[in-house]
A and B are shown apart, each in its own frame.
Chain A
């Protein structure tokens, strides 16, 4: 077991005029093998029919492969299960499967989707593919050891057809997609952001009206990065130093949220708490500094803002343009938790702040607990490992 992990981002553009996407992406954890199975399937045609074909294909492949069945069996099952299209007389869905094993190696199985792109050390790296014929279908198979910084991009053909006949004669060719994405290699974007960059470009080549369902899945291989967040004093006054020593003994960066909480942390560390008075063009309170703590912020209002950003990040990520550069507490926490961290430990104190129990204020104890719970759920959906401890 190394200390690498996979940061995964995926999304789809739906063909203009359709309501359902004919591509389907499925990510399944396979605990027994310490593996992750990622499937991108593209169903024949568009709309309902394509949606059913791709969903079936992705689900069959991810379920069977996570149970350790061989690819031959999986492909045969897909071929025998898919309903045959009346008009075209075929049952058809293309697919790409990326199996990440122990974050050491990747097994990639491809059928008729554009070949997976691998950007390694900033440059295109063609996967060592071998072809196998299963039931008359040419299936490409490759296996490669993972390296920190690797970026895998799986696509449906909607990406390489972007702009065809309109802005580009032959669509957005794979080699051009590669050189486009290579330029973002060293910026340090997350998989989700890289994926959004790719799909945004497709969308603009399609002039906002995609001519086909367009999906992409980006996998970024990165080092694990632990992060610890402390919020709220413990419900039992005597547990203060226990909570602090557990928190500060953890590996990784430390974030302290809350006025009283940061006073306790400062006292524990024996360092002064220095609040700043810079409002940073934001509606959240200013941050503070304690030597030995990576970030000190106010509590409930800041976390509430972070939660808003987290929910948006999981949808269309429109607020990225705010939190990606601002210096206020919520933006700083968002960058640390969403982009930097892979494993997050929450230390949540359950003391009730009497001042917050005023019905005139939009903050109270229940809201605080709810915020932390919701934020942890959002972060889980971002693929982070989350542990919450209550005091």
Chain B
């Protein structure tokens, strides 16, 4: 599974760094390093909905507050 997170200006200001760091630690905790690849991307053209995240191409709008539920519902559930 590939998760990409936008690290452009807008998403950065909306907390993409925290999203990346939380995802990293969640992946670590759940021992999913072999199954999930994290990647950055510059601007998906949907800045209004940031932080922009895609899971295998499917778009999600995530915030630092929702990242844990996002991980449970849209990442772990699909593995």
Is B66 part of the contact surface with A, judged by Cβ < 8 Å?
A: no
**Which residues of A lie under 8 Å from residue B13 when comparing CB positions?**
301, 361-363
- A277 engages B7 (CB within 8 Å): yes
Instruction: Please give me the residue from chain B that is nearest to A300 by CB atom.
Output: B9
Please tell me which one of the listed residues A288, A300, A361, A362 contacts residue B40 in the complex, with CB atoms under 8 A apart: A288
- A235 close to B (CB within 8 Å): no
Taking CB atoms, residues of chain A closer than 8 Å to B6 are 259
Q: Does B10 contact A (CB under 8 A)?
A: yes
Q: List the A side residues contacting B38 at CB < 8 Å.
A: 277
Is A285's CB within 8 Å of the partner chain B?
yes
Closest residue of chain B to A258 (Cβ to Cβ) is B9
Q: Check A354 against B47 for contact (C-beta < 8 Å).
A: yes
Residue A171 is within 8 A (CB to CB) of chain B in the complex: no
* Segment 2-37 of B: residues with Cβ below 8 Å from A: 5-10, 12-13, 16-17, 20-21
CA distance in complex: A260, B7 (Å): 11
Residues of A within 8 A of B12 (CB): 285, 298, 301
A299 on the interface (CB 8 Å rule)?
yes
Q: Across the two chains, which residue of chain B brings its CB closest to A257? A: B9
Known: A354-B47, A356-B47. A275 touches B39 (CB 8 A): yes
A288 to B9 Cα, complex, angstroms: 13
CB closest residue in chain B, given A279: B17
Q: How far is the CA of A37 from the CA of B47 in the complex (A)?
A: 51
A262 adjacent to chain B (CB < 8 Å): yes
The answer to the question of A263 belonging to the interface, with a C-beta cut-off of 8 Å to chain B, is: yes
CB proximity of A275 to chain B, nearest CB, Å = 3
Instruction: State whether the Cβ of B1 lies closer than 8 Å to any Cβ in chain A.
Output: no
Cβ-based interface call for A355 (8 A): yes
Contact B40 A275 (CB under 8 A): yes
Distance in Å from the Cβ of A81 to the closest Cβ of chain B? Answer: 55
Do A277 and B40 contact each other (CB < 8 Å), given the known contacts A353-B47, A354-B47, A356-B47? Answer: yes
With a CB–CB cut-off of 8 A, which chain B residues contact A259? 6-9, 42-43
Chain B residues near A167 (CB-CB < 8 A): none
Chain A residues lying within 8 Å of B7, measured Cβ to Cβ, are 259, 275, 277, 285-286, 298
Q: How far is the CA of A277 from the CA of B39 in the complex (A)?
A: 7
Contact B47 A355 (CB under 8 A): yes
Q: Are A298 and B9 in contact (CB-based, < 8 A)? A: yes
List chain B residues, Cβ under 8 A from A300: 9
From known contacts A263-B42, A277-B38, A288-B42, infer whether A361 and B17 are also in contact, taking CB-CB under 8 Å.
Answer: no
Q: Which residue of B lies closest to A304 (CB)?
A: B9
CB neighbours of B41 from chain A (8 A): 273, 275
Contact (Cβ within 8 A) B42 A262: yes
- C-alpha spacing A262/B50, complex, angstroms: 19
Q: How far is the CB of A332 from chain B (nearest CB, A)?
A: 15
Taken residue by residue from 349 to 363, chain A's Cβ proximity to chain B (1 for < 8 Å, 0 otherwise) reads as: 000011110100111
How long is the Cα–Cα vector from A286 to B39 in the complex, in angstroms? 11
Smallest Cβ-Cβ distance to B49: which chain A residue? A355
Cα–Cα distance between A39 and B29 once the two chains are bound (Å): 64
Question: Are B5 and A277 touching (Cβ within 8 A)?
Answer: yes
- Chain B proximity mask over A253-272: 1 for CB below 8 Å, otherwise 0: 00000111011000000000
Question: Do B43 and A285 touch across chains, with their CB atoms under 8 A apart?
Answer: no
| A285→B16 contact, CB < 8 A | yes
Residues of A contacting B47 in the complex (Cβ-Cβ under 8 angstroms): 353-356
Query: With the chains together, A315 CA to B43 CA distance in Å?
Result: 35
Task: Compute how far the CA of A362 lies from the CA of B10 in the bound complex, rounded to whole angstroms.
Answer: 10
What's the least CB distance linking A281 to chain B, in Å? Answer: 11
Q: Which of A303-362 contact B (CB under 8 A)?
A: 353-356, 358, 361-362
Complex: A288 Cα to B6 Cα, angstroms: 12
Q: Is the CB of B42 within 8 A of A275?
A: yes
What are some 18 contacts across the A-B interface (CB < 8 A)?
Answer: A259-B9, A259-B42, A259-B43, A260-B42, A262-B42, A275-B41, A277-B20, A277-B40, A285-B9, A286-B40, A288-B42, A353-B47, A354-B47, A354-B48, A355-B50, A356-B9, A361-B10, A362-B13
Contact surface of A with B, Cβ cutoff 8 Å: 258-260, 262-263, 273, 275-277, 279, 285-286, 288, 298-301, 353-356, 358, 361-363
Besides A262-B42, A301-B12, 16 more A-B contacts (Cβ < 8 Å) are A259-B9, A260-B42, A275-B7, A275-B41, A277-B38, A298-B9, A299-B9, A300-B9, A301-B13, A353-B10, A354-B47, A355-B47, A355-B50, A356-B9, A356-B10, A363-B10
